[in-house]
Amino acid sequence: MSFEMWAEKYRPKTLDEIVNQREIVERLKSFVKAKNVPHCIFAGPPGTGKTTAALCLARDLYGDAYREHLMELNASDERGIDVVRETVKTFARVRSIGEVPFKILILDEADNMTADAQQALRRTMERYTETCRFILIANYSGKIIEPIQSRCAPFRFTYLPKAEHDAFLRRIAENESVTLLDDGLEAIFDVCSGDMRKAINTLQAAASLGKPITAEIVYSVVGRAHPADVQKMVLTALNGDFTGAREKLREMIQKYGVAGTDIIRQIHTEIFRLSIPEPWKIRLADTVGEIDFRLVQGSNEEVQLSAMLARLVEAGYEMKQTEKG
């Protein structure tokens, strides 16, 4: 197997290769056709193609030598006002040589920039718009100050739907001669929920074991418990067997090496899949939220998870009493 990361290897090179984000792609292609790009904000969840779309736009606009007209900065690492005043301004003020008279500066994770840096950036965008166009990439566009948002064309990226997610992963598995089973594919989508970068990296991690990729392998490499095991533990607790549920909990922690906060989130998911009355789902969700808060605050994992199971046992007992009554 190649040591090259598959996420980079299979990254689209042109706008036509991007899957799913069709409306966004059509708008970007119209910019390429007009050879004119406004300041842009690419916003949306991680792994949905924001940085890839920016690079594809630059490649389609400038050709194979696009790197000469492009600068990428990760604003979470270089997010201070000095970077804007020096690095950004120096790049932005110099006109591009060629058919397209402006350069492109990509600010990745722009929502992590300090307020002062954003204020300085606003003025830079305004002054050097003739020589440089900015593409700001953010998970949370609300963290970018309003004056910058008003200067940019917004693009909202969404998670890939399951059909396109599955088709893309199957193509990679076929190209890399990896056996990807249906339950393994389902498990990758369950873990990654449409985050394509995470999905490809999960597929590569699972393939590195040299075995057919099953759900069991996927959950083990990402450090998550199998949903069937979590469901069995929850049902055991609701049926009144606290000791049995606690043994299943310890078994999962030992088997998958999963953290307490991750198990709590999986329990939260399984609660809404249970065939119990709606009011009980609400009560149990509230309990899960309380335990999760305690874990985030630094409480002991084993004590809090045991308390969670105890609450489930009590809830199961009360539900049975209600049914009898």
Provide the residue type at 291 as one letter: I
Q: What pLDDT digit, counting tens, does each position of 266-312 carry?
A: 899 889 888 888 889 999 999 999 999 999 898 888 899 999 999 99
| Cα separation, 29 vs 33, whole angstroms | 6
- In 271-302, which positions are buried (b, 16+ CB within 10 angstroms) versus exposed (e)? beeeebeeebeebbeebbeebbebbeeeeebe
Q: Which domain holds residue 54?
A: 6-156
In a domain, 1, yes or no: no
What is the SS3 assignment for 198? Answer: helix
Structure token pair of residue 4: 């090259």
- Do 15 and 120 share a domain, yes or no? yes
Mean pLDDT of 207-236: 89
Domain total in the chain:
3
Question: pLDDT value at position 1?
Answer: 45
Q: What pLDDT digit, counting tens, does each position of 74-132 carry?
A: 766 666 666 667 777 888 888 888 788 899 999 888 888 888 888 888 888 888 888 99
pLDDT band at 204 (very low <50, low <70, confident <90, very high): very high
Task: Name the β-bridge partners of 73.
Answer: 107
In a domain, 218, yes or no: no
Question: pLDDT value at position 88?
Answer: 78
- Do 246 and 118 share a domain, yes or no? no
Provide the residue type at 179 as one letter: T
Question: pLDDT value at position 124?
Answer: 85
The CATH number covering residue 257 comes to 1.20.272.10
| Cα separation, 212 vs 224, whole angstroms | 19
* First-residue to last-residue Cα distance in the chain: 62
> Hunting for tokens 């050097």 — which residue is that?
128
- Do 67 and 124 share a domain, yes or no? yes
- Do 120 and 256 share a domain, yes or no? no
Does this model's pTM top 0.85? no
Range with the poorest average pLDDT among 21-25, 66-70, 116-120, 245-249? 116-120
Question: pLDDT value at position 76?
Answer: 61
User: Does 193 score more than 70 pLDDT?
Assistant: yes
Write out 244-287 in H/E/C secondary structure.
Answer: HHHHHHHHHHHHHCCCHHHHHHHHHHHHCCCCCCHHHHHHHHHH
- Do 91 and 27 share a domain, yes or no? yes
Question: pLDDT value at position 320?
Answer: 85
Mean model confidence pLDDT for the chain: 88
Gyration radius (Cα) of the chain, Å: 25
pLDDT band at 2 (very low <50, low <70, confident <90, very high): very low
